[in-house]
Amino acid sequence: MGYIVGMTRTIVVGAGMTGLSTAWYLQEYGHDVEVLERIDVAAGSSWGNAGWLAPGKTIPLSNSSLWAYGPTALFDKHAALDVPVRVDPKLWRFVANFMAHATDRAWDKTMAGLTKADLAALDAFDELEAGGVQAKSHEGPFIIGFENEKQAGGFLKEVEGAIRHGQEVPFHQIGLEEARELAPILTEKVGAIYKMGGQRFIEPGPYCQAIADSIVERGGTITTGVEVVEVQSTRKPAVKLATGDWLSADNVVIATGAWMPKLARDLGVTTMIQAGRGYSFSVETDEPVKCPVYLPDPKIACTPYQGRFRVAGTMEFRGPDEPFQPGRVASMIHSTKPFFRGVDWEDRQDEWVGSRPVTPDGLPLVGATKVPNVYTNGGHGMWGIILGPLSGKMLAKQIETGEVDETIEPFDPLRGPFGGI
């Protein structure tokens, strides 16, 4: 764990998309980087997600429809939103603040905060790939399916909101026959279909591994199987490992996703982070699906993945280390089966749960903590894959120059426990 004398040494804690991207972009400024990871590359929420790079859908999670949907979801075992009914003051405090942002006014405020990052997000992937990362992002389109036109209302309102805030989201309605040219999996139960352009997708785990490989090829270090239990900074930042050893650096970046509060709370980062756990698995299909498919009503996001079809969904508010809940997979199948044909639902592979770091206001935590030369990059909720590289790029710029780019100004980690309402 030595480093090159004379170079700026930066330790990044966490080897998910945000941490790896931060390390890669710091290397662009000549930093000697070491990434410390408790488990393995992409072991958290970066591995099994849908891999969507969809600026048009990178929008606030909390919206006014939750007031009608949320209470019924508590008692519907198949609902996409799952909040365990139990005595858990911390969880219910988060839920209360999450719901406080479920207004049109709060949605617009958060969307305004996300838009500059959304518009710049895909360029960061182009830079990674041009800079030697041996991975590829794939152009869409995305097929969006509903049982009927009435169900499309909420989705259309969200897209119109993104457009109103300055995004270009090309989409139009198509028929089932045209949709089946890209997604032959769709059944006749899909009665209203939209085709969305301008979006991309990746295989997230392999993509993260490719960034890690590039970091190592450029002289950086990825150390897995080491847990950081404390971060301090007086004259110089240092991290304490579970072994009791301390490592010092010129800068430290905490990019540990849903586990961030353990390290960052004492550094002035008091915005609440709740694990919003998502589940996924892959299945075999009779005919290959050529592009992502989204079912907004059951909130199921699907993507071609290594010759199979990855099915992802749910927002489960539990602790990040709680066990895998098989009932969530059963609920996903129950909700999805009527809309898909030619799927062997018993041949499931890669069953997975990942803890996405959700903040009450839906904005990430990217920037400086209250102690010198210690930074955070996380709290992106469902959008860590698409916004990870851009967040890493802009945080690297801040660390190197001291300048906070306008794209991440709304992501101030010191904005308070509830993210501001």
What are the boundaries of each domain within the chain? 60-104+138-200+273-358
Whether the CB-CB separation of 387 and 58 falls below 8 Å is answered with yes
Query: What is the C-alpha separation between 73 and 175, in angstroms, rounded?
Result: 31
224-233, 273-282, 320-329, 410-419: least confidently modelled range = 410-419
- pLDDT confidence of 257, banded at 50, 70, 90? very high
Helices (H) and strands (E) in the chain, counts: 10, 21
pTM for this structure?
Answer: 0.95
> Does the pLDDT at position 69 exceed 70?
no
Whether the CB-CB separation of 174 and 183 falls below 8 Å is answered with no
> Does the pLDDT at position 17 exceed 80?
yes
Which CATH superfamily groups domain 60-104+138-200+273-358? D-Amino Acid Oxidase, subunit A, domain 2 (3.30.9.10)
Q: What is the pLDDT of residues 308-361, one digit of tens each?
A: 999 999 999 999 999 999 999 999 999 999 999 999 999 999 999 999 999 999
> Does the pLDDT at position 258 exceed 90?
yes
Strands 349-358 and 200-201: unpaired
Q: What is the pLDDT of residues 76-128, one digit of tens each?
A: 677 778 888 787 889 989 989 988 988 999 999 999 999 999 999 999 999 99
> Does the pLDDT at position 1 exceed 50?
no
Give the gyration radius of the chain's Cα atoms.
Answer: 21
Both tokens assigned to 415: 């904005």
> Does the pLDDT at position 295 exceed 60?
yes
Residue of 66 and 42 predicted with greater confidence: 42
pLDDT value at residue 85? 77
Query: What is the C-alpha separation between 253 and 35, in angstroms, rounded?
Result: 9
